[in-house]
C-alpha cells in the first residue's frame, strides 16, 4: 500500500510518502519522499518560508518560498512537488491508497482514525471553535488533497484528541459550573498522535510491550509543548486541556495562566482577537525573550548573558518540571520512565538534564555523556537508575500511516 501523510499545521506544513509492502513492520519505515514548509528558516529569519525536500536516499534540497503563501497555496505547492518528484504517481502507475491527515481536535466524537465524509468534515469544522489555529487548516488540507488527487482516494482523519479519550471524568472536568461540562468545556488533550507513537516505542525500548502496568511520563517538546502520563499505553492525565493553549509554557504560547490576568487585560482593552494573538503568537519563549521562540537561538543567547533569554529558558524549564510533577501525581506510583520527544525533547541536552534534576530522589538520573550526544530511540539514564530516561524520535507521520493501514486493512 502507498500512503500520503499530510500534516497541515499552524506553523508548518509537512508531506510524507510511504510505501508499505505486505504486513505493517514493527520498526518505522522512512518515507520515500517528504517535504516540510516552515514559517521561518531555522535561524528565525522572517524574510521567507523555509522548504526542505528529502528523498529516500537522504538527498536533501533547501529552498525559500514567499512568506505570503496562504495555507491552501502551501498544500498545493507540496502536492505539486510530490508529482514532480514521483512521476509514477502523476502518470497513474503508482496508486495512492489513502491520504492520512493529522487533525488536532475531534472532540469526544472520535476515538480512532476515520475515513472523511460529510459528517466528519462537519465535525472538524464544528470543533474549529476550540482549535481555531489548527482545525480550519487541517480541513483545508483535506479539501485540497481531495480536489488535487481526486475524490476516489480515501481521505483519513487521525485525531490528536482521540488518544486522550481514556481520561477519567475527574481528570477531564474543569471545576467551573456543571453547565460548562454540558456545553463541551472539558479537558481534551492534544499531541495524541505523537504520544501514541512515543508510548509504543518506549515500551519496545524497555522490552515491556503489552505490559498493562508500565507507567510513563511523555514530554512532547516542540513548537507546542505538552506532557502526558500513561499506564499500560492509556492516557491518564495530560497538561493541555480545552485548547492547545493550556499547560506548560511553549515557544510562542503562554500555557496555563491565572484567569484573573485575562479578566484584567479585557477590562483594560476588550480586544478578544488581540488577546488571542498575544496568547498564541507573542507569549512563551518568544514573548519573554523578545527573540524568536526557538531554543536553538535562546540557549546560546542565555549562555552569552542575555538576561531575557535566560529568564525565558528558566521559566520554560520551571513549567516543564512542574508538569512532570503533576503527571507523577496521576500515575499511582513511581514512573518507570520519562520520555522526551519532538524537536526540543530530541535535540536539547540542557533542557532534558534540567527537567530531570529535581527528581533524583526517585532514582532518576541522566548520564551526562549519553545525554550530550542526543541519541534517538535510546536510554540515556545512568546505569542502575530506577526511573529510565528515554529519547524517542517523533514519528507522527509514520504513526498516521500506521493508522491508515490499520483502518483500510480492517475494512471488508
* pLDDT tens digits, one per residue of 289-300: 999 999 999 999
* Residue 147 domain flag: yes
The CA-atom distances, in angstroms, between 96 and each of 59, 74, 329 are 23, 20, 45
Percent of the chain with pLDDT over 90: 78
Q: Which tens digit of pLDDT belongs to each residue from 99-132?
A: 999 999 999 989 999 999 999 999 999 999 888 8
Model pLDDT, residue 55: 66
160 is catalytic: yes
Neighbouring C-beta atoms of residue 18, cutoff 10 Å? 24
Q: What is the pLDDT of residues 356-396, one digit of tens each?
A: 999 999 999 999 999 999 999 999 999 989 999 999 999 99
* Structural domain includes residue 252: yes
Residue 383: inside a domain: yes
Coil/strand/helix, residue 6: strand
Domain end (from 185, 200, 222): 185
Note whether 121 and 246 are same-domain residues: no
CB-CB contact of 399 with 197 (8 Å): yes
Q: What is the extent of the structural domain holding 217?
A: 209-391
Indicate whether 121 and 224 sit together in one domain: no
User: Would you list the DSSP string of 53-93?
Assistant: EEETT--EEEEEE-TT--HHHHHHHHHHHHHHH-HHHHTTS
Whether 245 is in a domain gets the answer yes
Q: Are 257 and 316 in a shared domain?
A: yes
152 and 295 share one domain: no
pLDDT over 70 for what percent of the chain? 95
Query: For the segment 170-226, what is each residue's pLDDT rounded down to a tens digit?
Result: 999 999 999 999 999 999 999 999 999 999 999 999 999 999 999 999 999 998 999
Q: Do 50 and 175 sit in the same domain of this protein?
A: yes
Half-sphere exposure (Cβ direction) of 279: Cα atoms closer than 13 Å: 23
Residues 157 and 226 in one domain: no
Burial of 59 (0-12, 13-18, 19+ CB in 10 A): exposed
Identify whether residues 51 and 151 lie together within a single domain.
Answer: yes
Q: Are residues 223 and 305 in the same domain?
A: yes
Q: Is 191 contained in some domain?
A: no
Do both 181 and 215 map to the same domain? no
Q: Which three cell numbers stand for residue 60?
A: 536533501
What's the whole-model pTM score? 0.93
- Ramachandran quadrant class, 255 (left: phi over 0; alpha: psi -120 to 50; beta: rest): left
Q: Say which CATH number the domain at 309 has.
A: 3.30.420.40
Identify whether residues 128 and 222 lie together within a single domain. no
Alpha helix (H) residue ranges in 133-234: 135-149, 169-172, 178-182, 192-205
Start-to-end CA distance of the chain, whole Å, equals: 16
The residue annotated as part of the active site, out of 160, 237, 342, 397, is 160
Q: How many domains does the chain have?
A: 2
Do 153 and 231 fall within a single domain? no
Closest CA to 99 of 75, 127, 122, 131: 75
Amino acid at each position: 500500500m502507498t500512503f500520503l501523510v499530510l500534516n497541515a499545521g499552524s506553523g508548518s506544513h509537512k508531506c510524507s510518502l510511504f510505501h508499505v509492502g505486505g504486513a505493517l513492520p514493527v520498526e518505522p519505515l522512512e518515507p520515500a519522499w517528504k517535504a516540510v514548509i516552515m514559517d521561518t528558516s531555522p535561524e528565525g529569519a522572517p524574510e521567507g518560508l523555509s522548504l526542505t525536500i528529502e528523498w529516500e536516499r537522504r538527498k536533501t534540497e533547501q529552498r525559500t518560498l514567499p512568506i505570503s503563501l496562504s495555507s491552501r497555496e502551501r498544500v498545493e505547492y507540496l502536492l505539486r512537488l510530490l508529482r514532480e518528484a514521483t512521476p509514477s504517481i502523476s502518470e497513474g502507475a503508482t496508486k495512492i491508497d489513502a491520504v492520512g491527515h493529522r487533525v488536532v481536535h475531534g472532540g469526544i466524537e472520535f476515538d480512532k482514525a476515520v475515513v472523511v465524509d460529510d459528517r466528519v468534515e462537519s465535525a472538524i469544522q464544528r470543533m474549529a471553535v476550540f482549535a481555531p489555529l489548527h482545525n480550519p487548516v487541517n480541513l483545508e488540507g483535506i479539501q485540497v488533497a481531495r480536489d488535487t488527487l481526486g475524490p476516489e482516494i480515501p481521505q483519513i482523519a487521525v485525531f490528536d484528541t482521540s488518544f486522550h479519550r481514556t481520561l477519567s471524568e475527574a481528570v477531564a472536568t474543569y471545576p467551573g459550573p456543571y453547565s460548562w461540562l454540558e456545553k463541551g468545556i472539558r479537558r481534551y488533550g492534544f499531541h495524541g498522535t505523537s504520544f501514541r507513537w512515543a508510548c509504543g516505542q518506549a515500551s519496545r525500548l524497555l522490552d515491556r510491550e503489552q505490559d498493562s502496568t508500565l507507567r510513563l511520563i511523555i514530554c512532547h517538546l516542540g513548537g507546542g509543548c505538552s506532557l502526558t502520563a500513561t499506564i499500560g499505553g492509556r492516557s491518564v492525565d495530560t497538561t493541555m486541556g480545552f485548547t492547545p493553549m493550556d499547560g506548560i509554557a511553549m515557544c510562542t504560547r503562554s500555557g496555563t495562566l491565572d484567569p484573573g490576568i485575562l479578566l484584567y487585560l479585557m477590562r483594560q482593552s476588550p480586544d478578544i482577537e488581540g488577546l488571542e494573538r498575544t496568547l498564541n503568537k507573542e507569549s512563551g519563549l518568544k514573548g519573554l525573550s523578545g527573540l524568536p521562540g526557538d531554543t536553538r537561538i535562546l540557549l546560546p543567547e542565555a549562555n552569552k548573558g542575555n538576561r531575557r533569554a535566560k529568564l525565558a529558558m528558566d521559566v520554560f524549564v520551571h513549567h516543564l518540571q512542574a508538569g512532570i510533577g503533576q503527571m507523577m501525581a496521576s500515575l499511582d506510583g513511581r514512573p518507570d520512565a520519562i520520555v522526551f520527544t519532538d524537536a526540543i525533547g530530541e535535540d536539547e541536552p540542557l533542557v532534558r538534564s534540567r527537567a530531570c534534576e529535581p527528581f533524583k530522589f526517585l532514582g532518576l538520573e541522566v548520564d551526562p555523556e549519553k545525554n550530550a550526544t542526543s541519541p534517538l530511540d535510546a536510554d540515556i539514564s545512568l546505569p542502575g537508575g530506577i526511573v529510565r530516561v528515554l529519547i524517542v524520535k517523533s514519528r507522527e507521520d509514520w504513526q498516521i500511516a500506521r493508522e491508515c493501514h490499520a483502518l483500510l486493512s480492517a475494512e471488508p
